[in-house]
A = this chain, B = another copy of it.
Amino acid sequence: MFTKILIACDGSNGAFAALEKATALALLAGAELYVITVYRHHSILEASLSMVRGDLKTENLDDTMRTVSREAAESAKAYARDKGVEKVHAFIKGGQSARTIVAFAKEKGCDLIVVGSRGLGSEEGYMLGSVSHKVTSIAPMPVLVT
């Protein structure tokens, strides 16, 4: 029923719960798994900082974000492979989280997006689960919020 599943992963505990479900679903449905880790560009922040605090070393902030994101994505890929998912692809992208996730899902023809919420199971989720809310709002395909 699902052929290409996209799991959005940031290395957090909430994202790991989502990864577990996405992996189990991929195995059950015989689907390919796409892992995406999205990071925010910090170039503008860097530019502002350099004007007021030229002494701070911020030039590598984007590089650091990319490295951390790459690790999160590769670690998720390794987990899914280890569980037996045959086709797993890991990607990192810079940009606004929800829009980047949905654009990537469309680009790859994914028929399901899996995202973690903060898993609070309470009213607080309203404030905290903004990425998962936005993904469910703008995605044309089904979204599993774990």
Contacts and interface: CB of A to CB of B under 8 A. Distances in A.
Contact of A125 (B25, B123, B136, B142): B136
A68 interface: no
Contacts of A125: 136-138
Task: Count copies of this chain in the complex.
Answer: 2
A100 interface: no
Contacts of A129: 136-137
Contacts of A145: 136, 142-145
A28 B29 CA distance: 7
Contacts of A142: 21, 144-146
Given A29-B28, A145-B145, A121 B138 contact: yes
